[in-house]
Structure 1
Amino acid sequence: MVTSPIQQPTAVLPSAAGDLRALGRAPATGPRWRERLLTDLNPVRRGFTEHVRVTEGAGGHYADLVRAAPRLDRGVRLLVGEHAAISAALAALQHAVRLPGVSAAEVRARTRDLLRALDRHRRHGADLLWEAYQADLGGED
């Protein structure tokens, strides 16, 4: 079992998901709702970008995790893949909001999809950390 704790790198995700939930509830009314939505989406994008920065790369949390528990390499690679998918979903949502022909219902659907992806990613990260620090690999009585 890995004994040295590595801080869970999801500190930016809860606030980003909270911002996004607020976006999903915001009324799509008035002439400036799209502008408000784009403005409100900025902290979500910044938060997720920061999450990726602190988790990926040679000095990131994921590298520390794999050094401490090499058996988790596959799970870490899956999380990195989720980063790419979430970044693409964020970009697609921002693009959809900018297009006047995209309905409010479509924007809400994209927002819900993004929320689900963020929640799934947070769960997968927590599961991986649990496996690293709580799973008993045996060998001792």
Structure 2
Amino acid sequence: MDSHFRVVADRLYTYAMKTGWNDQVGSLAARSDYDGKLIVPDPVWWAQAELMRLAVYSASKNDDFDYNASILSKSMAYVVNEYVDQFNGGWLNKPQSKRSRKQLNKVIGYHAAAYSALQDLGVIERMSLSPNFSL
């Protein structure tokens, strides 16, 4: 990645984590404003998928490996509990804890969260991750 773009990407990642990361839950808020105020504090499925991809990429480049391993591990646990359709596979469009029993929780195919990419990069082995699911 071009060094200029890398600086911008690092600043965006730092800002997103500072303003929207919930370390206790392992989720990233959907949206904040330029002043750091959360506009949409609830997480959304696509932001979780992109965060996981970024954590894998950063870890594969040895950028603060322990930090990125922690982010990926916490986010993966959150995704498995809230967004993975345990019966049919794939992503659900709403967290299971945020929907009523009557709501249809549509399966999303757009962000198949790169489990194979994790394996290809050797990240799972390096992070000692052993999820009992595949996406």
The TM-score with structure 2 as length reference comes to: 0.35
The TM-score with structure 1 as length reference comes to: 0.34
Q: When you count helix as a share of all residues, which structure comes out higher?
A: 1
